[in-house]
Amino acid sequence: MIIYPTELIALGLWLLAPALALGLLVLYAVHARFGARMGLRPWRAASLLVVFGIGLAAMILVYAPAEMVRPLGLRDIRILGWQTYWAPVGFVAELLALPLALVLGRGR
């Protein structure tokens, strides 16, 4: 079976989408609670979270040792009778990218 680059990108985004959505919800909650005091710019922080999250997930999968990547790789899950995949690496990457996006997402 041949996987084309566009299919690989679509699969990667499908696996990172739940983690990205959760990270953006946490970012929205932080902005709603502390945004005025922090000087947080929500669009800048959200775009940084998406870019850093995808970048960190790719770097973890490419450069991490095999002992670490294997538990963070693809997992099968059944939701309402449908078989699908999820990747814990997306949640780890978003957890690491959130503080960085909060710090760099501040305005002047």
Per-residue pLDDT of 5-39, as tens digits, reads: 888 788 778 878 888 999 999 988 988 888 777 78
State yes or no: pLDDT of 77 exceeds 80.
Answer: no
Q: Alpha carbon of 37 to those of 27, 30, 31, 73: distances in Å?
A: 15, 11, 9, 38
Nearest to 87 by CA among 37, 27, 15, 38: 15
Give the pTM.
0.79
Which is higher by pLDDT, 71 or 17? 17
Residue 50 banded pLDDT, cuts 50, 70, 90: very high
Task: Please work out, in degrees rounded to the nearest 5, the angle formed at the alpha carbon of residue 106 by the alpha carbons of 102 and 107.
Answer: 165
Per-residue pLDDT, 89: 83
- Alpha-helical runs (H) found in 1-107: 5-38, 42-63, 66-72, 88-104
Span 43-60, average pLDDT: 90
